[in-house]
Chains A and B, each alone.
Chain A
Amino acid sequence: MWYFLALGAALFALGLFGVITRRNTIGILMSLELMFNAANINFVTFNKCIQGGSMAGQLFAVFIVVIAAAEATVGLAIVLLVYRNWRGIGSDHYNVMKW
Chain B
Amino acid sequence: MTQTAWIIPFLPLLAFTMIVFFLRWKEKVASGFSIAMIVIDWVLSLIILAEALGRHGASYEAKILLTSFKTFNLELGILIDPLTAMMLVIVTTVGSCVQIYSLGYMKDDPRFSRFYAYLSLFLFSMLGLVLANNYFMIFIFWELVGLTSYLLISFWFEKKTAADAGKKAFITTRVGDLGFIVGLMLIAAYCGTFNYQGVFEKAASGTVPVGILTAAAIFIFCGAVGKSAQFPLHVWLPDAMEGPTPVSALIHAATMVAAGVYLVARSMPLFVTSADASMVVASIGLITAFIAASIGLVQNDIKRILAYSTVSQLGYMIMALGLYGYDTANGEHSAGYVAGTLHLMTHACFKGLLFLGAGSVIHAVHTNDIQEMGGLRAKQPRTAMTFMIASLAIAGIFPLSGFWSKDEIVASTAHHPLFFVLTLTIAFMTAFYMWRLCFLTFFGQPRNQHRYDHAHESPGTMTWPLVFLAALSVCAGWVALPWLEHGFSSFVYHGEPHHAEPEYLLMIVSTLVSLSGIGLAWLMYHRKAISADQVAAKFKPIYTLLYNKYYFDELYDLIIVRPIVNLGNKLWSFDANVVDGAVNGTAWLTVVWSDAKQWFDATIVDGAVNGAGWLVRQSAAGLRFLQSGTLQFYALFIAGLVAAIGLYRYFGISYTPTTTGLVTIFFLIGLIVLWYVSRSIWRRSTPAAAAEVEEHSVRVEDK
Q: How far is the CA of A98 from the CA of B633 in the complex (A)?
A: 11
Q: Which of A19, A25, A28, A96 has the most CB of B within 10 A?
A: A19
Whether B625 sits at the interface, judged by CB under 8 Å, is yes
The smallest beta-carbon distance between A89 and chain B, in angstroms, is: 12
Query: Which residues of chain A in 10-59 are interfacial with respect to chain B, using CB atoms and an 8 Å cutoff?
Result: 16, 19-22, 25, 28
Residue of B nearest to A28 (CB): B631
Selected from A16, A91, A99, the residue in CB contact (under 8 A) with B631 is A91
Given A16-B639, A20-B639, are A98 and B632 also a contact pair (CB < 8 Å)? no
Residues of A within 8 A of B696 (CB): 99
Within 8 A of A (CB), among B629-659: 629-632, 635-636, 639
The docked-state distance in angstroms from the alpha carbon of A92 to that of B682 is 12
Residue from B629, B635, B636, B639 in contact with A98 in the complex, judged by beta carbons closer than 8 Å: B629
Please determine whether A95 and B632 come into contact, CB atoms closer than 8 angstroms. Answer: no
What are the residues of chain A within 8 A of B624 when measuring CB–CB? 99
A97 B639 Cβ-Cβ under 8 A: no
Which range contains the number of A residues in contact with the other chain?
Answer: 10 to 19
A20 to B630, CA, bound (A): 10
Within 8 Å CB of A95, what residues of B?
628-630
Name the distance in Å between A86's Cβ and chain B's nearest Cβ. 13
Measured between alpha carbons, how far is A21 from B633 in the docked complex, in Å?
10
Alpha-carbon distance A99/B627, docked complex (angstroms): 5
Contacts of A25 in B (CB 8 A): 631
Question: A50 → chain B, closest Cβ, in Å?
Answer: 18
CB of A19 within 8 A of CB of B629, answer no
Would you give the shortest CB distance from B103 to chain A, in whole angstroms? Answer: 108
A99 to B632, CA, bound (A): 15
Task: Give the complex CA separation of A91 and B629 in angstroms.
Answer: 10
Roughly how many angstroms separate A91 CA and B628 CA in the complex, as a whole number?
12
CA distance A92 to B635 in the complex (A): 14
Tell whether, in the assembled complex, residue B639 and residue A96 are in contact, meaning their CB atoms are under 8 Å apart: no
Q: Mark A69-96, 1 if CB is under 8 A from B, else 0.
A: 0000000000000000000000110011
Report yes or no: B636 in contact with A20, Cβ–Cβ below 8 A. yes
Residue of A nearest to B635 (CB): A19
- Residues in A neighbouring B639, C-beta threshold 8 A: 16, 20
Return chain B residues, CB-CB under 8 Å to A91: 630-632
The interface residues of chain B lying within 8 Å CB-to-CB of A22 are 632
A16 CB to nearest chain B CB (Å)? 5
- Which of B631, B636, B696 has the largest count of A CB atoms less than 10 A from its CB? B631
Q: Which residues of A contact B629 (CB under 8 A)?
A: 95-99
Contacts of A28 in B (CB 8 A): 631-632
- Give the distance in Å from the alpha carbon of A19 to the alpha carbon of B696 in the complex: 30
Interchain nearest-CB distance for B574 vs A (Å) = 74
Which single residue of chain A is at the shortest CB-CB distance from B621? A99
Could you tell me if B631 and A98 are in contact, using CB atoms closer than 8 angstroms?
no
CA distance A99 to B697 in the complex (A): 12
Task: Assess whether A20 is in contact with B627, with CB atoms less than 8 Å apart.
Answer: no
Contacts of B632 in A (CB 8 A): 19-22, 28, 91
Majority secondary structure, B binding face: helix
Contacts of A98 on B, CB cut-off 8 Å?
627-630
Please measure, in the bound complex, the distance between the C-alpha atom of A83 and the C-alpha atom of B635, giving whole angstroms.
21
Interface centre among A21, A28, A97, by most B CB within 10 Å?
Answer: A97
Q: How far is the CA of A81 from the CA of B641 in the complex (A)?
A: 31
The reply to whether A99 and B625 contact each other, CB–CB distance below 8 Å, is yes
Inter-chain contacts of B636 with A (CB < 8 A): 20
What distance in Å separates the Cβ of B641 from its nearest Cβ neighbour in chain A? Answer: 13
Residue of B nearest to A16 (CB): B639
Q: Are A97 and B627 in contact (CB under 8 A)?
A: yes
Give the residues in chain A near B630, CB-CB below 8 Å.
91-92, 95, 98
A21 and B625 alpha carbons, distance in the complex (Å): 21
Give 1 or 0 for each of B81-95: 1 = CB within 8 Å of chain A CB.
Answer: 000000000000000
Task: Find chain A residues with CB under 8 A from B628 CB.
Answer: 95, 98-99
Bound CA span A21–B624, Å:
23
Q: Which residues of A contact B625 (CB under 8 A)?
A: 99
User: In the complex the two chains form, what is the Cα distance from A91 to B631 in whole Å?
Assistant: 7
Q: How far is the CA of A22 from the CA of B635 in the complex (A)?
A: 12
Which of A21, A25, A91, A98 has the most chain B CB within a 10 Å cutoff? Answer: A98
CA distance A25 to B630 in the complex (A): 11
B620 and chain A: residue at smallest CB distance: A99
- Enumerate chain B residues within 8 angstroms of A16, measured Cβ to Cβ: 635, 639
Q: What is the CB-to-nearest-CB distance from A42 to chain B, in angstroms, rounded to a whole number? A: 14
A20 proximity list for chain B (CB < 8 A)? 632, 635-636, 639
A75 to chain B, nearest CB (A): 11
Q: Report Cα–Cα, A73/B630, bound state, in Å.
A: 22
Minimum C-beta distance from A94 to chain B (A): 8
Please name all residues of chain B whose beta carbon is closer than 8 Å to the beta carbon of A92 when the two chains form the complex.
630
Q: Which B-chain residue is minimally distant from A32 (CB atoms)? A: B635
In the complex, A97→B627 CA distance in Å? 8
Question: Please, what's the 1-or-0 string for B676-702, where 1 marks a CB less than 8 Å from any CB in chain A?
Answer: 000000000000000000001000000
For A12, give the chain B residue with the smallest CB separation. B639
* CA gap between A95 and B630 in the complex, in Å: 6
Given the complex, which residues of A lie within 8 Å of B635, measured CB to CB?
16, 19-20
State A24–B624 Cα separation when bound (angstroms).
26
| CB-based nearest A residue for B626 | A99
Query: In angstroms, how far is the closest chain B Cβ from the Cβ of A67?
Result: 19
Q: What 0/1 pattern do residues 424 to 435 of B give for CB contact below 8 A with A?
A: 000000000000
Point out which of B627, B630, B635, B696 has the most chain A C-beta atoms below 10 A from its C-beta. B635
Give residues 552-573 of B contacting A (CB, 8 Å): none
A91, B624: Cα distance in complex, Å:
20
Q: Kindly report which residue of chain B lies nearest to residue A96, judged by CB atoms.
A: B629
Q: How far is the CB of A31 from chain B (nearest CB, A)?
A: 9
State the CA gap A21–B635 with chains docked (Å): 10
B495 to chain A, nearest CB (A): 125
Which residues between 8 and 56 of chain B lie within 8 Å of chain A, taking CB atoms?
none
CA distance A68 to B481 in the complex (A): 145
CA of A19 to CA of B640, assembled, Å = 13
Residues of B with C-beta under 8 A to A19: 631-632, 635
Most buried by B among A21, A25, A95: A95
Q: How far in angstroms is the closest Cβ of chain A from B453?
A: 117
CA distance A22 to B639 in the complex (A): 15
Q: Taking the nearest CB of chain A, how far is it from the CB of B467, in angstroms?
A: 122
Smallest CB-CB separation from A91: which chain B residue?
A: B631
* CA–CA, A92 and B630, complex, Å: 7
**Chain B contacts with A in 244-278, Cβ cutoff 8 A:** none
CB nearest neighbor in B for A23:
B632
Q: CB-CB < 8 A to A99: which residues of B?
A: 624-625, 627-629, 696
Give, as a whole number of angstroms, the nearest-CB distance from B125 to chain A: 99
- Residues of B bordering A, CB below 8 Å: 624-625, 627-632, 635-636, 639, 696
List 24 interface pairs A-B (beta carbons < 8 Å), by A numbering.
Answer: A16-B639, A19-B632, A19-B635, A20-B632, A20-B636, A20-B639, A22-B632, A25-B631, A28-B631, A28-B632, A91-B630, A91-B631, A91-B632, A92-B630, A95-B628, A96-B629, A97-B627, A97-B629, A98-B627, A98-B628, A98-B629, A98-B630, A99-B627, A99-B629
- 12 further A-B contacts with Cβ under 8 Å, apart from A19-B635, A21-B632, are A16-B635, A16-B639, A20-B636, A22-B632, A91-B630, A95-B629, A95-B630, A97-B627, A97-B629, A98-B627, A99-B625, A99-B628
The 7 closest A-B pairs by CB, nearest first: A98-B629, A95-B629, A99-B624, A97-B629, A19-B635, A99-B627, A20-B632
